[in-house]
Amino acid sequence: MRTVRLRSAQWDAGAMMESLRPGDLSVDSARLSKLESFFWFDLCAEYDSQVLHAKLVEIGADWSQGFHEFERLWYRDEMNHYRGFRELYRGLFGVSDRQIDDRLARRTQTFQGLEGFLETELKALVLFSYDELATTLAYSRDRALYRELGSPRLLTFLRRLIRDESYHFQNAADLVRLRYLGRPTEVLGAIADCVRHDLEGHPYQGVFLFDHDWEEVPSAFFEDVGRRLARHWGLEGHVA
C-alpha cells in the first residue's frame, strides 16, 4: 500500500527549558506575572494530547496503519512540548510539580459535541490538518512576545514548536492527499465544519482539539485557515 514520508524531529524540550528562571528574561516581574495565564493555556493544550490519544486508540482501532504511524509521532511531539512548557512554567512562576499536577487534575475535559469530528479517518485527518495549521500560525504570531522576553533559549523553543506543528499539519495533509482527495465534497465539508465550529466561539473543552478561544483572535483567522487548506489540496474550485 502506498504511504507518505512522515516528517519528524526528535528533541528534548524539557531539558531545553530546565532551570529557566525569571532572571534569564529581560522583562520585570510585573510583566512576567501578566503572562502566567498565557503560558498555562499552552501547557494545558499540549498536555491534553493525552486524552485525544486515548480517544483515538479507542475509536480508531480499524483505521489505517498510516494514520496510526502519524498519530504515534504526533503524540510523542505533543508530550515533548508539554514537558517543555511544564519546565518553563515551573521555573518562571515558582510552582511545584505537585501544584501543577493538582491544577491539571481539577480541569474539566469533555468530547461532548466533538464526536462528529472523529467519526471517520477522513474527518479526523482533515481536523488534524486544520487544527495543526491553526496552531502553527498561532505560535508564529507569538514570535514578537517571545522576542520581547529576551531569552535565546525561549526563542529556540518557540522555533522548534512552530517546526513540529508545521510537520504535524503537513503529515496529516499528506495523508488526506494520498487517501481522500478522490472525495473532494467530503473533504471540503469537513473543512467547513471545522471553520464553523471555531466561528461559533465554543470555549476550549480540554481535549486538545479547537484550543482556539484565544482572546482577540478575529474570525477571519479561522476562515483563512480553511481557505489555506482548500488551496493546499487544490480544491478551491470545488463546491462543498
**Interface residues toward Fe ion, by CB under 5 A:** 46, 78, 81, 132, 165, 168
Which residue type is seen at 42?
Answer: D
Q: Which of residues 145 and 238 has its CB atom nearest to Fe ion in the complex?
A: 145
Task: Report the alpha-carbon distance of residue 183 to residue 188 in Å, rounded.
Answer: 9
Q: Which of residues 74 and 222 has its CB atom nearest to Fe ion in the complex?
A: 74
Q: What is the DSSP letter of 181?
A: T
Q: Rounded to the nearest whole angstrom, what is the least distance from the CB of residue 28 to Fe ion in the complex?
A: 29
CA 196 to chain centre: 18
Q: Which of residues 121 and 211 has its CB atom nearest to Fe ion in the complex?
A: 211
Q: Rounded to the nearest whole angstrom, what is the least distance from the CB of residue 161 to Fe ion in the complex?
A: 6
Q: Rounded to the nearest whole angstrom, what is the least distance from the CB of residue 139 to Fe ion in the complex?
A: 8
Q: In the structure grid, which three cell numbers stand for residue 214, read together? A: 484565544
Task: Report the alpha-carbon distance of residue 146 to residue 83 in Å, rounded.
Answer: 18
Q: Which of residues 10 and 29 has its CB atom nearest to Fe ion in the complex?
A: 10
Q: Which of residues 151 and 170 has its CB atom nearest to Fe ion in the complex?
A: 170
Longest CA–CA separation in the chain, Å: 57
Q: In the structure grid, which three cell numbers stand for residue 63, read together? A: 483505521
Q: Which of residues 27 and 114 has its CB atom nearest to Fe ion in the complex?
A: 114
Q: Rounded to the nearest whole angstrom, what is the least distance from the CB of residue 173 to Fe ion in the complex?
A: 13
Task: Report the alpha-carbon distance of residue 87 to residue 79 in Å, rounded.
Answer: 12
Phi and psi (nearest 5°) for 114?
A: -105, -5
Q: Rounded to the nearest whole angstrom, what is the least distance from the CB of residue 132 to Fe ion in the complex?
A: 5
Q: Rounded to the nearest whole angstrom, what is the least distance from the CB of residue 95 to Fe ion in the complex?
A: 21
- Give the list of residues 6+ apart from residue 237 with CB closer than 8 angstroms, or none: none
Residue 72 to residues 30, 76, 122, 128, Cα–Cα distance (Å): 40, 6, 17, 13
